Chain A
Amino acid sequence: MSQATAAVKKDSQAEHHEELSFLYKYILPVDHKIIGMQYIFTGLIMAIIGGYFSYAFRMQLAFPGEVVPLYGLVGPGEYNMLITNHGTIMIFWVAMPVLIAGFGNYLIPLMIGCDDMVFPRLNRLSYQIFLVSALVLIASFFVTGGGFGGAWTSYPPLSSNAEYSLTDWGASLWILAVALEFVSFLLGGINFITTTMNARAPGMKMMDIPIAVWFIVIAVILFMASVGPLIAGAVMLFMDQRLGTSFFLPSGGGDPLLWQHLFWFFGHPEVYVVLLPTMGIVADVITVFSRKKLFGYRTVLYTAFATGGLSFVVWAHHQFIAGIDPRVANVFVVTTVLISIPLAEMMFSYIATLYGGSIELKTPMLWALGFLAAFLIGGVTGIYLGASALDIYFHDSYFVLAHFHYTFFPITIIGMFAALTFWFPKMFGRMMNETLGKIHFWGTFIPFNCIFLPLFFLGLAGQNRRVYNFQLYPDLATQDLQNIRIFATLSLVVMLIFQLVFIYNFFVSMFKGEKAPNNPWNANTLEWSIPSPPPHGNFKTLPTVYRGAYEYSVPGRELDYWPQNEAPK
């Protein structure tokens, strides 16, 4: 195990790291760094679309029936399309590409000390399929009937029959886009696992791998193990839509609940698929900025394995009141609540890492700590929903909505900013502006809480999700509740405006920022031992690894960090 070698022979183009033409360097690259950035930039563009959608439907909820500035009127069908595609985009086209495919591609070879992914051409194909899937999704907004509006869970028979959904091709293109995207990540995933297992730098043992890489690999394994049933389901759903089969139609002998099982068998592990990369990134960031060794490296790693394993047996907690046998629910309550055990341990270890540290609140550290604080709220409110009896009241209410935004927003957006601000110097060879970074952090973090904390109370008041206009429900149409909606919406607008600060900082720093040294944060991992940005082929000579990734503030050393590749005296 200690003798890790690049076991897989690579094709010739990736082996020779000569200067490439623009076309081969940026459009059809095999370099994992460029492919990673392609994923990240595509994800960021999709995030803008997803954020724009949320602006439009939140405005409708706050000011029902009014013309939304920069959008127009939102009708009921359009509202459904907006919420459906907001969810779909944010999970499948932002969280997955940025956190897993983007940072996975960028970081894995750099952090394990090899020159590229072991299957560079497969990697390129993976991005190309991903790009096609994104274009198919965008195309689905423009077809006759409009985009799909049956919620991101796409429950049949609504999604399987055009006479119910009224979006004939919208629904089909939607499921096609999702299926294509899964194919893309399957290709990428096999690459990540093979690379990490076979191509580590000499001396890098399993327990020397940075947590960020470990967690991305675990996430990919979870994804690949869980996605099979959903791809089968997607094919069945597509056939129901286009060929008139009736896998999910009771009138033809099918069962609508079958889709729910297939979907959530994937859908729950998916939560941990996106959580783990962010958790890993945060582990790296907090150790660097508190100059501390990660508390209980092995424990943290094993809790991730346990979380991943458990995540396969909790899916039916999305279906407590969906018509499944109520006795089965009790089993899923137990497994669901058990997930709190590894995750609590992981959280405690992260917080224990801060103990006795020398904490410097640079922008990436603010994002990482913000993640821990916000995810804590998301985590504990999950206990309410894991309890089946409370789920009777909370299922599909705004309480659920607030809960999962308190998990997904920290994971996707806060985690993404933590990673972007942390590795920006490596990616572009320039430093980002700290002041603007901090303004952006507070301008995002405070409005984020102002958006979603009030929604917990709307959920308690009995407000259901996906409802177009609450003025029709006298119990919910009171001015007090409407004021809460308006407050949440205005907070969203404030948050969106503050993203302009980031965009400005990002692009100006990319070209005009202060030049970054190789290792601006004094970090240990291998990517900081090479120039910023790293050249094609990464390492001049492959590094040798002598120790784990988190040897900070080791007693007896003058420096408070100890790079993994520094030879012992």
Chain B
Amino acid sequence: MIEYFVQSASSFAGDIDNLFLVITLIIGFWFFLTFGALVYFIIRFRRKDGVKAKYIAGEKHSETKWTHYPHYAVIAMDVVIIAVNILVWVEIKQTLPPRDNLVRVIGQQWTWSFIHAGPDGELDTPDDVATANDLHLKLGETYHFELQSRDVLHNFSVPAFRLRQDAVPGRTISGWFKPTKTGTFDLQCAEMCGYGHGIMGAAVTVHSKESYENTMAQIRKGTYESHYQKRRGTKTGLPSKTSYVEDKDSFATLLASIF
């Protein structure tokens, strides 16, 4: 169901989408059952003159079974949800499949830096390629990422990959993903990181092999035009009024604007 709203571009995106479907079916059933009972009771048991309400304490077995039996069914379905969830979680976060490529992702107020490993597949070697706000990936390769932060918490979030991980200063957090679809996708910072948090985006481009090599060559030569800039155009995200300078004592201006 999620893929109806956003593209699905990594190998585990389908698993998360399926988990969503499983949970939707289970809770959808309970929701409509409970909601239906609520609405039905409200309509059926509206006050009528001369009709007295029933006196039910809800303590005899013949009464409590109406709440207890559905309740046991809830427990059974909880077990299903937990089991399916743990399978998907272990696959995505607890295992690290063998890598084909490596990238370092560094969050910093309010830019993303990416260090691509280059042809030798290792970081911190001379053939590394560094970019700002532009992540380039090769289709079908299993990537490991090393996630770091230089200042505050950030979050490396690519909705199309169903990928999300906090970056914590002082730590390197590893993870993996495998792009399965070419195209350019949004990366949003997903952890409040201060003034520029809302405009701390980047572009993730998944290339075919040729296109990837071309782009890397362009970046090395310095003739590369940023995908992030191209996609974003001239938008800055700031208010369009040219005279507008954000006032730090903004609440005072606010009050002035009211009175």
Contact = CB atoms under 8 A, between A and B. Distances in A.
Interface of A: 64-67, 70-81, 141-142, 144-147, 149-151, 153, 155-158, 161, 164-166, 250-251, 255-257, 290-299, 321-323, 326-327, 329-330, 333-334, 337-338, 340-341, 344-345, 347-349, 351-361, 369, 372-373, 376-377, 380-381, 383-384, 387-390, 392-393, 395-397, 457, 460-462, 464-469, 471-476, 552-555, 560
A469 to B, nearest CB: 4
Interface in B156-208: 157, 159-160, 162-166, 168-171, 173, 184-186, 188-199, 201
Contacts of B42: 354, 359, 361, 369
A373 B192 CA distance: 32
Contacts of A473: 186, 188, 201
Contacts of A290: 45, 53
22 contacts: A71-B254, A72-B254, A72-B257, A75-B250, A76-B238, A250-B171, A299-B58, A323-B165, A341-B74, A344-B71, A345-B71, A349-B67, A356-B54, A357-B41, A360-B47, A389-B93, A390-B23, A393-B159, A396-B155, A396-B190, A460-B1, A466-B197
A144 B252 CA distance: 10
Contacts of A142: 249, 251-252
A166 B195 contact: yes
Nearest to B173: A323
A471 B235 CA distance: 8
Contacts of A75: 238-239, 244, 246, 250
A259 B55 CA distance: 51
Contacts of B160: 462, 475
B82 A334 contact: yes
Contacts of B162: 392-393
B66 to A, nearest CB: 6
A397 B240 CA distance: 26
Given A334-B82, A337-B82, A354-B45, A292 B56 contact: yes
Contacts of B241: 65, 67, 73
B31 A376 contact: yes
Interface residues of B, number: 105
Contact of A157 (B56, B152, B155, B257): B152
B188 A146 contact: no
A337 B81 contact: yes
Contacts of A389: 15-16, 19, 85-86, 88-89, 92-93
Interface stretch (B32-40, B97-105, B112-120): B32-40
A326 B165 CA distance: 11
Nearest to B1: A460
A78 B53 contact: no
B31 A392 contact: no
Contacts of A322: 153, 166, 168
Q: Which 3 A-B pairs have the closest CB atoms?
A: A250-B170, A468-B198, A462-B159
Nearest to B15: A389
A77 B195 contact: yes
Contacts of B201: 472-473
Nearest to A252: B170
Contacts of B215: none
Given A299-B64, A333-B89, A327 B195 contact: no
A75 B254 CA distance: 12
A384 B1 CA distance: 13
Contacts of A292: 53-56
A151 B155 CA distance: 14
Interface in B124-163: 151-153, 155, 157, 159-160, 162-163
B105 to A, nearest CB: 14
A562 B65 CA distance: 27
Nearest to B88: A389
A390 B70 CA distance: 25
B48 interface: yes
B186 A474 contact: yes
Contact of B85 (A74, A79, A390, A396): A390
Contacts of A297: 57-59
Interface of B: 1-2, 4-6, 15-16, 19-20, 23, 26-27, 30-31, 34-35, 37-38, 41-42, 45-48, 51-59, 63-64, 66-68, 70-71, 74-75, 78, 81-82, 85-86, 88-89, 92-94, 109, 151-153, 155, 157, 159-160, 162-166, 168-171, 173, 184-186, 188-199, 201, 231-232, 235, 237-241, 244, 246, 248-254, 257-258
B192 A466 contact: yes
Given A77-B195, A341-B78, A390-B20, A352 B188 contact: no
A256 B153 contact: yes
Given A150-B194, A383-B23, 14 more contacts: A65-B239, A72-B257, A76-B237, A78-B250, A166-B195, A290-B45, A341-B71, A354-B45, A361-B42, A387-B81, A392-B93, A393-B2, A468-B198, A475-B159
Contacts of B31: 376-377, 380
Given A155-B191, A392-B92, A76 B198 contact: yes
A46 to B, nearest CB: 16
B153 A158 contact: yes
Contacts of B93: 321, 326, 329, 388-389, 392
A384 B20 contact: yes
Contacts of B89: 326, 329-330, 333, 388-389, 392
A376 B168 CA distance: 35
A352 B197 CA distance: 47
Contacts of A165: 194
Contact of B198 (A145, A357, A390, A467): A467
Contacts of B240: 65
Contact of B78 (A77, A151, A256, A337): A337
A80 B192 contact: yes
Nearest to A319: B166
Contacts of B6: 460-462, 475
Contacts of B48: 358
A542 B78 CA distance: 48
A323 B238 contact: no
